[in-house]
Structure 1
Amino acid sequence: MKSLESKSISKPEAKDISCDRSHKNYDFCTISGPTVLDPTSSTFFVMDPKTLTPQKPTVEKVRPYPRKWETHTMSRIKEVTLISSPIIPNSEIQHKAPAILLSAGGLTENIFHDFNDGFIPLFITANSIFPDQDVVLVISKARDWPILVLISRNGGVGRVLLNQNEVKFEAEKIGFNVIIFEPTPMTPMHKAYELIHSGHAMIGIDGAALTHTIFLRPSSVFMQVVPLGTEWAAEYRIEAEESSLLEKYSKDDVVIRDPVAFRGTDWSLMNVYLKEQNVTLDLVRFREYLKEMYKKAKKFMNKEG
């Protein structure tokens, strides 16, 4: 386990802004004295009469996350600025207690990293520097997860989302807490109800499992992804490049180019679209739909919980 050591963190010498960057796991910065936070720019301003003199301001930047050695992880942690400057924004909310800043980004949302990168370092910091004191937690990248239920299809049934993991990751980057739900004939109905009714949004590829939409709360958000050949029911109509049928037919084949003409009135031909076809969503294109879905789901969550 790599985390902050259990030894006490020394309180730095009195100075407006001080940063200790000697540790391999983290940078440790402090501000001594009253401070104003501008959340729009992630900047802490030192409220100190000395800063009103025409001197060059002190500026430090820090990414408040204890995995300093992991460049990729740290690149996703929002940088915070500490500055001593005569230009200080107005303070609308005031606290008398000291503040501890940390990020809930990075690898959190994973139970190991929640503790190893979050709770344990926070506990050590708070108890080493501010023992027996109340503190204000300033959390960067705090997550207020609207819930998105992603209906999964697997096996030889057709209409399988082939890049499901990538779609899940894109939705999580936007702000969703994605729960994969793969219903089976053995899934208890009350379990399906509890999951879907607690959510704020649902996505699935056209199929019988989408009957679970009856468990969605009114005004929650639902998006049905419809493969080629069943466009009449589409919320998200896939492009030819997103269909696995391109592996069997050319883009100019009538199966791809004009599904209505291909099937005509012969419903048996629908098996080409219903059972032979899987879907690989275009993530760039689909991301725009996810963003709009998130806005609507967030409004629903703020109103209904």
Structure 2
Amino acid sequence: MEKVPAGSLVLRVTPLICLLLVFLLYTVDFGSHEALSDQWKKLRLNWAGSRTEDPIDPEQLHFLLKRLLEGKNQTQLEATGFACHSDFHTEVCVSNRPVRIDMATMKVYAPFSQGLPPANRTISPYARKDDKVAMDFVSPVQVLQGNITFPPACRYNHKVPAVVFSSGGFAENIFHEFNELMIPLFLTSRGFQAHLRFVVTDYRPSFVDKFNKILSHLSSYEVINPAADGTVHCFPAAVVGLHYHDNLAVNTTDIPEGYSMLDFRQFLRESFNLKIQYLSQTEKPVLILISRPKTRTFLNEDQMVTMMKELGFRVVIAKPDMMANLDKFAEVVNSGSVLVGAHGAGLTNEIFLPEGAVMVQVVGLALEWPSTNYYGGPGTEMGLHYLEYKIEPEESSLISLYGRDHPVITDPASIASQGYRVVRDVYLIKQNFTINISRFRNTLVKALELTGQSDPLV
């Protein structure tokens, strides 16, 4: 048999392979030239990181940006194109004129009126500037104003404004995620009706994945991760920083559009596709028990669950692995009648309860103020019933650690005077609970009555 040189074989076979590939591309994967073109367009859009942006009306944009400020700051914005609002918790700066953002350095090149001196400033775009520990995890953003001789060239030009914020701080704790990020994002950006682009400094993929449903309802476009991008983006306007009102709070009087916490909860129902708005839409009473395995643990949890079932509740024990999937856990809580838990971040999930449901907070020794201000008061603003179960000293594990007559038990104020770190170590970290079942039963009977789902024989 005649031997064929290897090189000759390659030359003969390659054209056949190419023809076969072309045939497959047109007939199997795409089917037509038009389909191939559509696929290529999709690839290009994915590579660019965004679908086509729909511009917002300039007059409406300027109106919305102005409403983020107040008083003299609005006047300054109109006169110079740039102004800031600053308070105890946060700083929000607004440009109603085009800006360039260098993602590699997080420098914002903002406009400034001629004849005025440069007014550069550094902003930490996280709603907790009063907390030094949180701010250690927040990268600053520099805003440069004035006559910049050689501003960087734009790699991408956008038709919608940028909203710049940090996902640093305490963002791995669900209370702080809602308190300092989700609610402030709603306050700052809801009015734009998704015509904006988020630029997230201190980018955490886990944060973006966890809150994707909320982020995608506030913005129609992919989030920009500056560290991964590293190029210069140009925007018609920008907001750096987020507004903040109070703990899990939306103050209607502070929002021009008149939003309330009930509006935010409606927004959450839309974002997570939650079906239940009112408790009357539920049937058998469901009690969701937040189970904490490490701190502020219920040491007799099994006995508590037995008692809850005897009262007629269907009990769902929410452990950390269940709560880790926010999309699914939001649905679980939305079907609940009563949420029970010791003071802690897990109670933030009250935000998903239907209106008219009950939140029962177990208040440990020395935890009265944070319990009321972080979850109790906000709960009533959410349209919920709120009950507290204040433990007796005998129900706290601190007695076995310190003794009945120690100031930790008899004089918590003297411990609080030593600073937050001491309070945290003693009352938040070391304290667990052995609940008085008969006394706690009375609280849950009240909760059942408030739901209107109680058995008259209970």
TM-score by length of 2: 0.33
Kindly name which structure, 1 or 2, has the bigger radius of gyration based on alpha carbons.
Answer: 2
Answer 1 or 2: which has greater helix percent: 2
TM-score by length of 1: 0.48
Q: Which has the higher contact order (CA 8 A, sep 6+)?
A: 1
